Structure 1
Amino acid sequence: MANLLQSNSAPGAPGNPLNWSRADKDAVGTAYSLSSQVWYTSAGGILTEIYFPDVDTPQVRDFQLIITDGTTFFHDTQKDFTYQCTFPEPQALSFQLTSQAIGQPYTVVQDVIAEPGASCLLVRTTLQGAQPFLDKLHVYALLAPHMAGYGAENAAYRASTSNGDRLVATRANYWLALGADCGFGMTSCGFVGVNDGWTDIIANKRLPVWNYDSAKGGYVALTAEIKRAPGQNEFVLALAFCIDEATPITQSSPNNALTAISEALSYPFDGPAGTYSHLQAFNQGWKAAVPTPFVPKPGTTGDGDSLFNKSRNILLAHEDKTADGALVASLSIPWGQTITDLACGYHMVWPRDMCQSAIALLAAGEEDAPLRGLMFLASSQSADGSFHQKFFIDGEPWPGDCSQLDEYSFPVILAYHLSEAGLLQQFDPTGMVLAATRALIMNGPMTQQERWEELEGYSPSTLASNIAALVCAADKWADPATAQFLLEYADFLEAHLEAWCVTTQGTLLPDVSQHYVRILPTHVKGGARDFDFPEDPNVVQVTLWNQTYDARDVVDAGFLELVRYGVRGADDPIIVNSVKVVDAIIKKSLLQGPGFYRYNHDGYGQGDLGQDWYAGCSFGVGRPWPLHTGERGHYELSAGNDPKPYIRYLEAFAGSRGLLPEQVWDMPNLQNTPFVTGGPTGSAMPLAWAHAEYIKLVRSVSDNRVFDRLDVVANRYQPTAGGTPRATSTLEVWNFDRQLPSMAAGKTVRIPLDVPFRLRWSIDNWNTWQDTTSAATAVAIYYVDLPTQAAQAGSPLTFTFFWTASQTWQGANFSIALHL
């Protein structure tokens, strides 16, 4: 067992708090191997967050080099170099950082991979320059642990081993260990900003004088001098991880991580063809990741399929290796420099984003990962059929979880795609699908939050997914009676789309009065519930970022999802008008091509002066999202226009790094910042959803058919001439969230609830009344239908509930005014 030295402990605990790193990554990666449970990222010329043993658990804030001649310069590789990040093997997620020292004649080249057989990161470093100059250099590794996802309460030690000194860090039974193939010279463990290596060397401009054995109980940093022999310009650093829990007779130990270092450094980083090397094994793993990848038709992409292939690998790299199928939204933490340990990054599962990734992988020719994803979601589903808004891969939701009905729908749509492709194997998703439809109905028809996770109400994009999921479920996984019940609810939603989501009094364009709005807000899911709030986008207001606007004048492009899934046609007049409004209000011409904002008046984004966004800030400005450019490309294909330019636009947004950001900078280049027009902002990059949108657009253009289009939905709501008549509905759904005050006489009121009941109702102010017992369904929803007649206009429909399980009355009456 390694000896953890503690006789010379660093003073000054806990040190200065450190936040996370930049979110605009240059590269992300992992080995395509279940044995290697480590994920790495890079930004600004250094390694940034490193994850282990799960894709949602960061263990390292950053990992970089310090280089000095001891007297005239003291270089931090993040600040004192210009750099390039390149990808020598396009089919793999290895990368190379080439950093040129500013004002000094040397270059540092770092090749980064993960060891395929262990949870160990490997960095081969090569110094380039005149040998006499290089021999004067002192090179140090500097590592900032954030063990178990926290910078606080970390401990660091010098570990004495038979292979020489290593450095280790720990928190909560997680361990990391750092070693070098040539060994370490001076080492030190210190507290950040007090006596860490950066403060010792860079801030004090000197060779290090501190050599503490340990630093416990704070924000720590590890520093190690690379023990280079004269003329030695290449060395390999190994950073390994393990979990080791204490037992009644043993202490928690870093031994497994230390062993992984020794084993990794016993084999060559690279070598001749035909012999084993870590680099060749790493690259070969990625080359064989997808046995039969989809190959786009020649000319579909503008870069020889480079971004298409890389996007597929990016999505695969966002899958966990313990919780098979779990795909996180991004290996980044938006605006990480200002985000504390307790804030939420994107290294979590959002069912919406995850299903986008899984369906895109299916479009890219990957057959197993989408099924793993579906099974993961089925196992993560709540008992009531719902899905958490966002959650860790162990199923634990993020605090403040909200209901988002599109996230209940997308797993059903994913299941449908897999079924259509014949790829469900022996997995039966019926239980998951029907439970999800139950949750969708019981928590609707308005959503507590739409896809931008901000507002309650009726959202065109949410309703599109809801309708599609219900029709898909009815088509494949429901008995005839249940299918009819699900379809009737889908038809109810579809029949209300224009009433809920289309203004007839639009003012944004002089010649367009009728168009889709971003959302029709409601106020029934929490707080002071207002059941009289009108379901009319012409008259209600919406509050965004502490400002109030008329709902009719706030637009997004979410209505395009209605076209994507087949609920509406691309030539629908309201769709066409809405596209005109989008182009006038939220389209932004950029050097790379058109970008689109989420919606007008968006406040989620970088400030105009480059300030990092944070919750509650007053300066945030939403910037264009490349994924919307992809959504528009899908629409253009549906409309019979040329979608290929939109593929090129996305390729331009990805740039030389081949990564698509969440948002791009839409202003002139900002001096002394990384922000250039059309380049990434400080929000997430890569965004898996954006890469998924690109993959699906390429597949759709190659097939000349929108990959996401669901014929079963289109056939119901856009029937061809001579086909089945278009579905219609005269239902009005009443529930305790939608206590509609009035409706047109002649419609049928449906009251679906999650427990059995008997309804006592009257159409003549209780002069007479009837009792109707709720009907049961196979999805554990109980409902009563109350048909009305046109002649009953002017009368109130009044009712109350008798709860059969508890044998109690509701104790209150409810009334719906019937009008012509």
Structure 2
Amino acid sequence: MDAPDGYAPGWPGIPARWTSSAKSGVGTALSDKSRVWFTLSHGIFNEIYYPRIDQACVRDMGLIVTDGADFLSEEKRDTTSELRWLAKGVPAFHLFNTCRLGRYRIEKKILADPQRDTVLQQTRFVAQKGQVSDYRLYVLLAPHLGNHGAGNTAWIGEYKGQPMLFAERDGNALALACSVPWMKCSVGFVGFSDGWQDITSHQQMAWDYARAENGNVALTAEVDLQAGGGEFVLALGFGRNAAEAGNRARATLQDGFEAARSKYVRQWSGWQETLLQLDKNRSDNGQNLYRTSTAVVRAHEAFNFPGGIIASLSIPWGFSKGDNDLGGYHLAWPRDLAESAGGLLAAGAHREVRRVLCYLQATQEADGHWAQNMWLDGSPYWNGIQMDETALPVLLVDLARREKALDTADVARFWPMVRQAAAYLVRNGPVSPQDRWEEDPGYSPFTVAAEIAALLAAADLADLHHEPGIARYLRETADVWHASIDRWMFVTGTDWCRKYDVAGYYVRIAPVVKEEGVSRFLESIAVKNVTTDQAESPVCHLVSPDALALVRFGLRAADDPRIRDTVKVVDALLKVEAPQGPIWHRYNGDGYGEHEDGEPFDGTGIGRVWPLLTGERAHFELAAGRVQEAKRLQAALESFASADGLLSEQIWDAPDLPDRELFFGRPSGSAMPLVWAHAEYLKLLRSLSDGRVFDIPPQPVARYLTENTEAFCLVWRFNHKIHSLPAGKILRIETLAPAVIRWSPDEWNTSQEIRTNDTGLGIHSADLATGSLTEGKQARFTFYWLEAGHWEGVDWGVSIGAAQLGG
């Protein structure tokens, strides 16, 4: 069916796709009057986000140059691009895009208007061969309003007499205006009637469609180069409707680029001056990764959801992703959020950390946990539950308190949040049946270590708020979990032990098994591409640098033989020597990364190495007292940054694939920048400045490394039954409802009853006097449920053994 006159043909266009995640710059104004975040890649605008940092509204916007006859050059493909920051620590950018054939150069200055929802591009076109009049210049804009490439409507129109190009979808709109006249404008459906198809076919604009409805659309306009002598300003305004967007674009042009630049730079520079001078001994030559990192982390905060920091302004492998993958990394992960806030705290950004804690308080679920990841309004995106994402906010409160970022009133405000989170941890931890560390269920050193440290931090806060009973119970629970770490996650006698000459090692994912025997991994776990270790029993072991979290969270000393042995295995299996220095894989068999041929991750792939892990290893080396090695790893981490100073999620660790822009030791197609990586770098600078690990919680260090506190009991509960108890230990029974426990030490020849106590955290507990029972005996017990008024009708048993708990 033919399109009506003036309407573009080819509805609805090809399926929409996003674009490269390899950002060269990210930015936003430090103003609550501006709700726009922009990204740059390959010398042009990439995704632009409005009105929230988790909602992309633009795929990209770039330029095409022709001579109207036989020369055509696309800016993002046919130029070499150089990016400079307009000022230190200010995410506004000066781009120099030079034609590879030497015909022209395009200079741009890019930032957001601090006064309104507009991004600005001041542009200068320089003819390196011939005159400016020999060339034609076209703007191509791809709207993806509301995180969708489909369902957009585009048209040519005007606002108060000024010609503009518009697009709208479901309550979001944009308007593109220029400081010089348009020569020609058109809109169309991508792949059929868009400007790229037109210009590449005709070397100029031959089409002038006025409207393209409800599809994957693109906007194209020819700039009048003669009018400004090759210089002009583009203003892309956003609003709830076309009039709002048009108003903002026009008002920004009226104020002028210099007014926006001056205020933008002044606001960012003023904020940078409030931070610690962790770069004071650094020369100004080259990239100042400290100021870049502080700006990157701060630029990822949602000002209309204060304290909401997303994981990355990027969509990993975005060029292969469409509307069915709405989230990308522009979501809030509580884990990443807490780690990012820790980086800001290391730099001295106290107010920002208080905002993060307020945001966490507002998005905490009623039962005390946080969603695995979420939109900025708190709506969950994925449906998993990860226990460390509940533990880390607790540790952030304690770290902020110790750094004096919180006063007494602040701590009192956040205590209910901490109390709820601690209650969730003790009710569901150490590993919930729903708990998955990324792909796989089971015990993880990082998660368990974070939980134990969080319980001890929460106990201190409970004491501060006059709840000694809760404090005591949290510490006792932490002791039980701490004493069980080796039983849960330390393996011995395997082929890897023999191959690498170690006594044992910690594993990344230990499945939750029905029996409590030491290192009894007899249940199978479904993990793709995982090395099978043939010991006495076939076992799937995931080994990871995550084990170093036991040191980072204060549960093991850096020189502990178990840690040393684990590091030896980790380095043998996961370490890669890149040109810049050592870097590590997350774990053996990781499938999150490009395929061997460089094809993007599509649910399967080969996990690549992570710069973040080099930062974490540097912290471990500092904890071990090897300062020079920590500094060497710091230098390696800095070298893993892109030429523009951004740290990626992963680094390509295979031979170069130039056609896919994949080079050994350089960023892969995963998220860039990864905010957590920049935050880890900030913490590393602070740690090296202080001469100690900045964020190590002192409570586990004091309790387990200095005082050598041991657990006096072991816990049985319905979601975590144990079958044996070391002689001399107390058996603690925990339930979610009040009960009377009838138990017998002698196969019911005699029995006694004990009533559970309410811990105040949704757990009811009772300690059975099993300390005097000898090896071979059994404690048997059953329950009378007080609220329901009936007996359970089943009894359970726990055998007394000789083995002692490992510390």
* Length-normalised TM-score, structure 2: 0.93
Q: Distance in 2 between matches of 1:457 and 1:451?
A: 7
Q: Is the 8 A contact 2:529 2:591 kept in 1?
A: no
In structure 1, stretches of 5+ residues that fail to align are 1-5, 244-252, 271-276, 524-530, 720-724
Instruction: Tell me which moved more, 631-640 or 669-678.
Output: 669-678
| Partner in structure 2 of residue 709 of structure 1 | 696
Tell me the amino acid that sits aligned with residue 519 of structure 1. I
Q: CA deviation at 1:299?
A: 4.7
1:460 to 445, 448, 461: 445
2:559 to 566, 571, 578: 571
Q: Is the 8 A contact 2:23 2:672 kept in 1?
A: yes
Q: 1:435 to 1:133 in 2, by over 3 A?
A: same
Q: Is the 8 A contact 1:19 1:340 kept in 2?
A: yes
Q: Distance in 1 between matches of 2:202 and 2:47?
A: 27
1:260 to 248, 259, 277: 248
Tell me the amino acid that sits aligned with residue 667 of structure 1. A
| Partner in structure 2 of residue 614 of structure 1 | 602
Q: Distance in 2 between matches of 1:119 and 1:689?
A: 27
Q: CA deviation at 1:224?
A: 1.4
> Are residue 338 (structure 1) and residue 320 (structure 2) matched?
yes
Q: 1:305 to 1:802 in 2, by over 3 A?
A: farther
Q: Is the 8 A contact 1:520 1:535 kept in 2?
A: no
| Partner in structure 1 of residue 238 of structure 2 | 241
Q: 1:541 to 1:557 in 2, by over 3 A?
A: farther
Q: 1:413 to 1:758 in 2, by over 3 A?
A: same
1:661 to 648, 656, 681: 648
Q: Distance in 1 between matches of 2:370 and 2:284?
A: 38
Cα deviation, 1:94-138, whole Å, max 9, x if unaligned, reads 112222223351111221100111110001111112585321222
Q: CA deviation at 1:810?
A: 3.7
SS in 1 for 2:95: strand
CA RMSD of aligned residues (A): 2.2
Q: Distance in 1 between matches of 2:190 and 2:211?
A: 13
Q: Distance in 2 between matches of 1:444 and 1:80?
A: 54
1:103 to 101, 104, 108: 101
Q: Is the 8 A contact 1:502 1:537 kept in 2?
A: no
Q: CA deviation at 1:808?
A: 4.1
SS in 2 for 1:682: coil
Describe how 1:153-192 pairs up with structure 2 within 5 A.
Answer: 153-192=151-190
Tell me the amino acid that sits aligned with residue 653 of structure 2. D
Q: Is the 8 A contact 1:404 1:448 kept in 2?
A: no
**Which structure features the higher share of helix residues?**
2
Q: Is the 8 A contact 2:37 2:48 kept in 1?
A: yes
Q: Distance in 1 between matches of 2:270 and 2:444?
A: 42
Instruction: Tell me which moved more, 334-343 or 746-755.
Output: 746-755
Q: Distance in 2 between matches of 1:635 and 1:449?
A: 30
Q: Is the 8 A contact 1:517 1:552 kept in 2?
A: no
| Partner in structure 2 of residue 216 of structure 1 | 213
| Partner in structure 1 of residue 148 of structure 2 | 150
Q: CA deviation at 1:422?
A: 2.3
| Partner in structure 1 of residue 347 of structure 2 | 364
Tell me the amino acid that sits aligned with residue 281 of structure 1. K
Cα deviation, 1:684-738, whole Å, max 9, x if unaligned, reads 010011001100011000110110122222111111xxxxx32101322222221
SS in 2 for 1:415: helix
Q: CA deviation at 1:21?
A: 1.1
In structure 2, stretches of 5+ residues that fail to align are 534-538, 803-807
Q: 1:500 to 1:518 in 2, by over 3 A?
A: same
| Partner in structure 2 of residue 278 of structure 1 | 260
Q: 1:535 to 1:389 in 2, by over 3 A?
A: farther
Q: CA deviation at 1:570?
A: 1.1
> Are residue 819 (structure 1) and residue 806 (structure 2) matched?
no
| Partner in structure 1 of residue 134 of structure 2 | 136
Q: Distance in 2 between matches of 1:493 and 1:436?
A: 17
Q: Is the 8 A contact 2:278 2:347 kept in 1?
A: no
Q: Is the 8 A contact 1:541 1:549 kept in 2?
A: no
> Are residue 691 (structure 1) and residue 678 (structure 2) matched?
yes
Q: Distance in 2 between matches of 1:184 and 1:812?
A: 82
| Partner in structure 2 of residue 250 of structure 1 | none
Q: 1:153 to 1:450 in 2, by over 3 A?
A: same
| Partner in structure 2 of residue 722 of structure 1 | none
| Partner in structure 1 of residue 35 of structure 2 | 37
Q: Distance in 2 between matches of 1:534 and 1:138?
A: 75
* Length-normalised TM-score, structure 1: 0.92
Q: CA deviation at 1:535?
A: 6.0
Q: CA deviation at 1:511?
A: 1.3
| Partner in structure 1 of residue 506 of structure 2 | 516
| Partner in structure 1 of residue 269 of structure 2 | 287
Q: CA deviation at 1:322?
A: 0.7
Q: CA deviation at 1:166?
A: 0.8
| Partner in structure 2 of residue 246 of structure 1 | none
Q: 1:713 to 1:20 in 2, by over 3 A?
A: same
Q: 1:339 to 1:297 in 2, by over 3 A?
A: closer
| Partner in structure 1 of residue 50 of structure 2 | 52
Cα deviation, 1:639-681, whole Å, max 9, x if unaligned, reads 1112111111111001321101110011222121211111100
Q: CA deviation at 1:290?
A: 4.1
Matched residue pairs, number? 784
1:624 to 602, 609, 616: 609
Q: CA deviation at 1:174?
A: 0.8
Describe how 1:53-68 pairs up with structure 2 within 5 A.
Answer: 53-68=51-66
Q: CA deviation at 1:540?
A: 5.4
SS in 1 for 2:271: coil
Tell me the amino acid that sits aligned with residue 469 of structure 1. A
Cα deviation, 1:359-409, whole Å, max 9, x if unaligned, reads 11011011101111011101111111111110111000014x112111111
Cα deviation, 1:753-788, whole Å, max 9, x if unaligned, reads 333233333344444443332211232322222232
> Are residue 678 (structure 1) and residue 665 (structure 2) matched?
yes
Tell me the amino acid that sits aligned with residue 220 of structure 2. T
Tell me the amino acid that sits aligned with residue 543 of structure 1. A
Q: Distance in 2 between matches of 1:447 and 1:440?
A: 9
Tell me the amino acid that sits aligned with residue 419 of structure 2. L
> Are residue 228 (structure 1) and residue 213 (structure 2) matched?
no
Q: CA deviation at 1:300?
A: 7.2
Describe how 1:623-772 pairs up with structure 2 within 5 A.
Answer: 623-641=608-626, 642=628, 643-719=630-706, 725-772=707-754
2:395 to 413, 436, 443: 413
Q: CA deviation at 1:607?
A: 1.5
SS in 1 for 2:87: coil
Tell me the amino acid that sits aligned with residue 139 of structure 1. L
Q: 1:808 to 1:635 in 2, by over 3 A?
A: same
Describe how 1:193-208 pairs up with structure 2 within 5 A.
Answer: 193-202=191-200, 204-208=201-205
Q: Distance in 2 between matches of 1:255 and 1:535?
A: 68
Q: Distance in 1 between matches of 2:361 and 2:650?
A: 31
Q: Is the 8 A contact 2:159 2:243 kept in 1?
A: no
Cα deviation, 1:613-640, whole Å, max 9, x if unaligned, reads 011x3xx111110111001111111111
Describe how 1:431-450 pairs up with structure 2 within 5 A.
Answer: 431-448=416-433
SS in 2 for 1:791: coil
Q: Distance in 2 between matches of 1:170 and 1:304?
A: 42
Q: Is the 8 A contact 1:755 1:782 kept in 2?
A: yes
Q: 1:171 to 1:261 in 2, by over 3 A?
A: same
| Partner in structure 2 of residue 794 of structure 1 | 776
SS in 1 for 2:221: strand
Q: Distance in 2 between matches of 1:357 and 1:740?
A: 38
